[in-house]
Structure 1
């Protein structure tokens, strides 16, 4: 395999794992609330990240990179943004279909491209920019039910989903910046090190928050440890692949290809959540596939 294209299977694996994690967290939201379900991906994912770092360290014999001030700024920004993004996404999922809210959050690639250009200097070719716009248009089309508007079920889930996408975009840029700021080591060791720091910070922040303001949700998350453990594992697995993708290419490339998650979410909605697929959603999915295909052609 051409190693320059390794980010493609890595991103597809991340999207698959994240779809499973989102579905698991959506069910947990009904039991332990939005904040409680938000923190399980971090609290229960952190041990798996530590295991992954230990395995990578033993397998490669590489030293764990030492963090610096720039790394801490980027990883903290990424950690906080991802917490906000996850909470807003789960809140919106309580009011709209799983696949539709996933689509709202996937306005993210355009925002990632802009943030990446401004904050990290990641460049875009005209073809890649067009691919991002086409795929994002597919997300927007897919989000509208036939005969209805984007706000047909109220503005709150729409705004929550779109703002969630913005925070996911900032998280992607923050974590890519953190990975790049670790000057030494392979892409794998730098990505895994960043994952451990990110999940560790997120776990500490949410444990303190819940301990102070929502002990009931914290206790409930411990009681629901079986499904929470599954969500944590899938979250850590997805993040491992996301971070490796960020180490290999621009965040815009990764997050645009990640739009295949919308198609995976649609399959989950249809198979497990008994949510039908409309003709407009099919058109949107075709545009997403077209945009992703154009992106991949631009990389060849």
Structure 2
């Protein structure tokens, strides 16, 4: 089994935990605060990881080429905006369709991978990516009204467009991050991914912190008061990001983000075994499509 596969599954699991924690914190911190803690409380753990790679494994720190900075910083800004939009979706009562559209990220990641890096996917991998997107959209809309008018209204609503924009920004940031990490040559894929992540997270913390100090000082103060809860967002967020950066250093973003759709299966399993909820038929069909997509993408990689 290629190493990027278990790393991606691990990252998806961590992202699932982090998203649940952020959703819980949103009511106490607001959209900006819940977005900020992901980065701010992750910075120490990101640099601790880099230090461990250097001190424990003897991996050298990389020299930063000029091309690294625009790639990393544009990727960081795109991820901030994407995370903000995704958390903002929870403010809407009809956020389900928006969440479904946010799952089109693998298709948009493949597009940005082609536009920014010149990466292409095979026909079979493209079919797998499409199957996965259909699967997650099926699951996301499983509890929506089934009549055509209601479905059309949901899919053309404001949350739907926010979800689509969020997916596009996540896809762009993934392609930019891969390019940034690959530019750090000669240090090994672990240090390439880890050092890029640590610098990007520090940049994101600085940008968001400065903006919130001016525009959202109350929310910024709240992120300090809730440090006990926020630190877990930072830990799970960085653990997932380490996985994403490492996997995307080893493999094309389109394949990584397609396999990442398994996150939704984790969510459903959690609801069944922890909350004892019963799955609907559409959710089961969606999970089977996601499973088929994972098999196709893995075989095509």
What TM bracket, shorter-length normalisation? over 0.9
Match of 2:230 among 228, 231, 247: 228
Q: Confirm or deny that 1:140 pairs with 2:142.
A: no
Q: How does 1:114-133 map to 2 (within 5 A)?
A: 114-133=111-130
The Cα of 1:182 is off from its aligned counterpart by: 1.1
Q: Work out whether residues 115 and 170 of structure 1, in 8 Å CA contact, stay in contact via their aligned partners in 2.
A: yes
Q: Deviations over 1:30-73 (max 9, x none)?
A: 11100000000000001000100000111221211111221101
Q: Confirm or deny that 1:215 pairs with 2:212.
A: no
Q: Work out whether residues 100 and 142 of structure 1, in 8 Å CA contact, stay in contact via their aligned partners in 2.
A: no
SS in 2 for 1:152: helix
Instruction: Structure 1: give runs of 5+ residues left out of the alignment.
Output: none
CA distance in 2, matches of 1:292, 1:114: 19
Q: How does 1:8-87 map to 2 (within 5 A)?
A: 8-87=5-84
CA distance in 2, matches of 1:233, 1:174: 23
Instruction: Structure 2: give runs of 5+ residues left out of the alignment.
Output: none
Equivalent residue, structure 2, for 1:246: 248
**C-alpha distance 84-276 of structure 1, shift in aligned 2 (>3 A):** farther
Deviates more, 1:77-86 or 1:103-112: 103-112
What's the TM-score, normalizing by structure 1?
A: 0.93
Equivalent residue, structure 2, for 1:180: 182
Q: Work out whether residues 146 and 279 of structure 1, in 8 Å CA contact, stay in contact via their aligned partners in 2.
A: no
CA distance in 1, matches of 2:291, 2:90: 24
What is the root-mean-square deviation in Å for CA atoms of aligned residues? 2.1
CA distance in 2, matches of 1:235, 1:101: 22
Q: Work out whether residues 32 and 221 of structure 1, in 8 Å CA contact, stay in contact via their aligned partners in 2.
A: yes
What's the TM-score, normalizing by structure 2?
A: 0.92
Count of matched residue positions in the alignment of Structure 1 and Structure 2: 296
